[in-house]
């Protein structure tokens, strides 16, 4: 299916993603996960391990990764940490749908610590690249998270992970709820449909008031693709992932 006049096809810069990360926001049903699944495909095709933290069960049901770890409600943390450690060299999906927000934060932060320690203990030429995708990323990067001790290992990967070949993708329904300082690190951004006034107001700081207001007219699968390093602001369209 060809894109409509003036609308570009899917675009994703892997090199930029492994330098600074990637970001997508938009209301439920706008196609955020479909977009992030395409990121994952591109990464894996370039021998980059992808690990997805998914509270929605969408990835578990639709995305073809062999290793899938389903956390039980009220997990026993020590055994769960051992399970996390076992899969840190593989592409994997972590089903967090039965966890509380606090449990999600604790496990995600612990995993970031385990992965960082693994990479730090290797010589630079021995390190393989990793890309972590956080669905509902406002849970692990909420306002003030860059100053929160509880999430210090998530923040460390955000700030210095590039030196250890680790980068992250952020997927959120609520653009204005992700830590504003965290957003500064991710230089490849996608903005999907939203009717949330606070989110459009925040997004307008990147793409201007008129373009942010236009998000109210977007259909599912349409995004503003914003890559300031190359002065790119394109209206982009993707098809549902299958």
- Tokens 């951004």 belong to 189
CB-based contact 234:228 (threshold 8 Å): no
pLDDT at position 75: 74
Distance between CA atoms of residues 206 and 196, nearest Å: 16
Q: pTM, whole model, 2 decimals?
A: 0.92
Domain membership of residue 159 (yes or no) is yes
Domain membership of residue 11 (yes or no) is no
Distance between CA atoms of residues 93 and 90, nearest Å: 10
Query: Where do runs of H (alpha helix) occur along the chain?
Result: 14-20, 32-45, 58-62, 77-86, 101-120, 152-160, 180-183, 197-207, 209-214
Q: CB-hemisphere CA count at 13 Å for 179? A: 20
**Could you give the 3-state DSSP secondary structure of residue 193?**
coil
Domain that holds residue 168: 24-237
Query: 93: Cβ–Cβ under 8 A, 6 or more apart, which residues?
Result: 51, 52, 54, 59, 60, 63, 65, 67, 68, 69
CATH assignment of the domain containing 34: 3.40.50.300
CA 14-171-82 angle, to 5 degrees, is: 90
Domain membership of residue 133 (yes or no) is yes
**Could you give the 3-state DSSP secondary structure of residue 20?**
helix
Q: Each residue's pLDDT tens digit in the chain (242 positions)? A: 444 557 999 999 999 999 999 999 999 899 999 999 999 999 999 999 999 999 999 999 999 988 888 888 877 765 666 666 565 567 899 999 999 998 899 889 988 988 898 899 999 999 999 999 999 999 999 888 877 777 899 999 999 999 999 999 999 998 988 988 888 899 999 999 998 899 999 999 999 999 999 999 999 999 999 999 999 999 999 999 98
pLDDT at position 42: 97
- CA dihedral over 182, 186, 187, 188, signed as positive or negative: negative
Distance between CA atoms of residues 76 and 224, nearest Å: 42
Domain membership of residue 3 (yes or no) is no
Domain membership of residue 49 (yes or no) is yes
Number of domains in the chain: 1
Domain membership of residue 86 (yes or no) is yes
Domain membership of residue 10 (yes or no) is no
Domain membership of residue 82 (yes or no) is yes
Distance between CA atoms of residues 9 and 216, nearest Å: 20
Q: Return the closest-CA partner of residue 88 out of 62, 122, 50, 133.
A: 50
CB-based contact 42:14 (threshold 8 Å): yes
- CA dihedral over 186, 145, 203, 44, signed as positive or negative: positive
What H or E segment, with its residue span, contains residue 191?
strand 189-192
């Amino acid at each position: 299916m060809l894109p409509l006049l003036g609308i570009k096809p899917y675009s994703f810069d892997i090199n930029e993603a492994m330098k600074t990360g990637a970001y997508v926001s938009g209301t439920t049903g706008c196609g955020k996960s479909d977009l992030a699944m395409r990121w994952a495909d591109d990464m894996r095709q370039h021998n980059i391990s992808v690990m997805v933290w998914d509270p929605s069960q969408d990835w578990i049901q639709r995305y073809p990764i062999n290793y899938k770890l389903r956390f039980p409600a009220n997990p026993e943390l020590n055994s769960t940490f051992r399970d996390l450690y076992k899969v840190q060299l593989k592409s994997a999906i972590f089903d967090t749908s039965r966890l509380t927000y606090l449990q999600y934060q604790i496990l995600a932060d612990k995993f970031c610590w385990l992965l960082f320690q693994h990479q730090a203990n290797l010589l630079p030429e021995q390190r393989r690249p990793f890309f972590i995708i956080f669905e509902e990323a406002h849970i692990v990067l909420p306002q003030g998270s860059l100053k929160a001790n509880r999430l210090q290992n998530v923040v460390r990967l955000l700030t210095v992970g590039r030196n250890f070949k680790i980068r992250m993708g952020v997927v959120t329904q609520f653009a204005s709820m992700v830590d504003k300082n965290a957003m500064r690190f991710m230089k490849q951004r996608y903005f999907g449909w939203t009717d949330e006034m606070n989110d459009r107001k925040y997004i307008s700081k990147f793409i201007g008031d008129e373009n942010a207001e236009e998000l109210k007219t977007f259909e599912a699968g349409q995004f503003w693709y914003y890559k300031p390093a190359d002065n790119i602001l394109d209206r982009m369209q993707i098809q549902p992932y299958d």
